[in-house]
Amino acid sequence: MFLEDVKVIENIQIADNYYLMRVEGKKIPQHSKPGQFFMLQCKDNSKVLRRPISLHNVDGNILEFYYEALGKGTKEFTQLSIGETINVQGPLGNGYDTDLKGKNIVVIGGGMGMAPIKYLIKDLKDNNDITFIGGGRNAGAVKIIEKFDFENIQLKVATDDGSVGIKGNTVDILKEVLKDQHIDIIYTCGPHPMMEAVAKVAQENNIRCQISLEERMACGIKACVGCSILTKKGMKKVCYDGPVFESTDIVDVDVVDPNGGCK
């Protein structure tokens, strides 16, 4: 398992509290899957837990993390300068099931839920037809899309304030897409109410849907049992059995943090 000090080669503010950090290591694992995450260690020893951060992309010896600076730990990450090191542990958890060919796919990312989307689309786009729906509160929340290098992808954007794309939300766009074309599978990551609404639409239309959940966790490797949620298949660890789940397996969506998005 990869546990190493990696070197920061870029750490930029995208908008508001949204940051993109690129790190370089000698032995970056190439077997990572979209939807997996890494545990990033804080330098300040008073922060005893690592921070689970979604894998935004892997490119050779470079890992990319798109993260939101909300708490003391992630705010510390924003202060990392080029050349500094950070200890990363991963990849952890399961990822999206991307072993697909010739499928019509909708990928929906909301706000910070855009984090795993870049890698997910990169993994899927050569063999499948993809519609990507990105959404957020405002222009800042969707600004990361400008850094995506998408070709042959249908791109649709919605913001709550209408500053970019249509004024509305991703679920409205999803419903429109489903009127026009047959969709085989939906992948989503974003605020919990959004994923819940997407999952409902998917279930109503009998479409497979994978969602990525978020929970506070301590170990990231199912040793502490801190991130368990109740699913239709019993208690599952978000860190290990997830963070990606089949939407139909989630019994009671309220058991996860309603403010949570994805890893």
Partner 1 sequence: MSNRLNISFLGKKLNNPIMTASGCFGYGLEYKNYFNPNELGAAVLKGITMEPRNGNPGTRIAETPSGMLNSVGLENPGIEEFKKLIPSIKKELNIPLVANINGKILEEYIEIAKEVEQIEEIEMVELNISCPNVKDGGMAFGANPEMARLVTREVRKVLSKPMIVKLSPNVTNIVEIAKIVEEEGANGVALINTLLGMAVDIRKRKPILGNIMGGLSGPAVKPVALRMIYQVSQAVSIPVLGMGGISSTEDAIEFIMVGASAISLGTGMFGNPTLPIEIKKGLEKYCIENNIENISEIVGAAHPDGGAAYRNRLGGNNEIKG
Closest contact distance (angstroms) between CB of 68 and partner 1 is 14
Closest contact distance (angstroms) between CB of 235 and partner 1 is 5
The DSSP string of 188-235 is EES-HHHHHHHHHHHHHTT-EEEEE-----SSSSSSS--SEEEETTEE
Which chain residues interact with partner 1 by CB under 8 A?
A: 1, 3, 41, 45-50, 73, 89, 215-228, 230, 235, 255, 257, 259
Contact 91, 34 (CB under 8 A): no
Beta bridge partners of 133: 108, 156
Q: Which is nearer to partner 1, 132 or 240 (CB)?
A: 240
Distance, CA of 188 to CA of 254 (rounded, Å) = 17
Closest contact distance (angstroms) between CB of 196 and partner 1 is 17
Q: Which is nearer to partner 1, 108 or 217 (CB)?
A: 217
Q: Which is nearer to partner 1, 65 or 187 (CB)?
A: 65
Task: Output the CA torsion sign for 189, 192, 194, 196.
Answer: positive
Closest contact distance (angstroms) between CB of 250 and partner 1 is 14
Residue 29, preceding bond cis, omega within 30 degrees? Answer: no
Closest contact distance (angstroms) between CB of 241 and partner 1 is 13
CA distances from 155 to 17, 129, 260 (A): 24, 12, 25
Closest contact distance (angstroms) between CB of 45 and partner 1 is 8
Closest contact distance (angstroms) between CB of 212 and partner 1 is 18
Contact 221, 240 (CB under 8 A): yes
Angle at 34 between CA 28 and CA 35, to 5 degrees: 110
Question: Residue for token digits 């279930």?
Answer: 203
Q: Which is nearer to partner 1, 154 or 259 (CB)?
A: 259
Q: Which is nearer to partner 1, 48 or 182 (CB)?
A: 48
CA distances from 200 to 81, 187, 196 (A): 43, 13, 6
Q: Which is nearer to partner 1, 178 or 221 (CB)?
A: 221
Q: Which is nearer to partner 1, 86 or 202 (CB)?
A: 86
